[in-house]
Amino acid sequence: MDIPNTPNPLLTTDQAADILKVKPSTLVNWRCTKRVALPFVRVGRAVRYRQSEIQAFIERGGAV
């Protein structure tokens, strides 16, 4: 997985799913249903996840 070398890179859905060990469709489901509080940003039409938010999500145990 290629992650840009920046302090807090924006990750694609595929990259975030790979880190979280879930399917990309799971992240889509979480976004659409707001069932899981995993922050994301929109860049135009693209959805991105901040690496720091993914790490915080993991550290809090993937809390819903």
Please tell me which residue, 42 or 64, carries the higher pLDDT value.
42
- 6-52 per-position pLDDT tens digit: 678 999 999 999 999 999 999 999 999 988 889 999 999 999 999 99
Per-residue pLDDT at 34 = 87
Instruction: Give the residue among 39, 41, 53, 49 at the shortest CA–CA distance from 10.
Output: 49
Alpha-carbon torsion (46, 31, 41, 15), positive or negative: negative
Per-residue pLDDT at 59 = 92
Two tokens, residue 18: 């790979």
Per-residue pLDDT at 1 = 59
pTM for this entry: 0.82
Place of tokens 């996840």: 49
Per-residue pLDDT at 8 = 82
Alpha-carbon span 63 to 3, nearest angstrom: 24
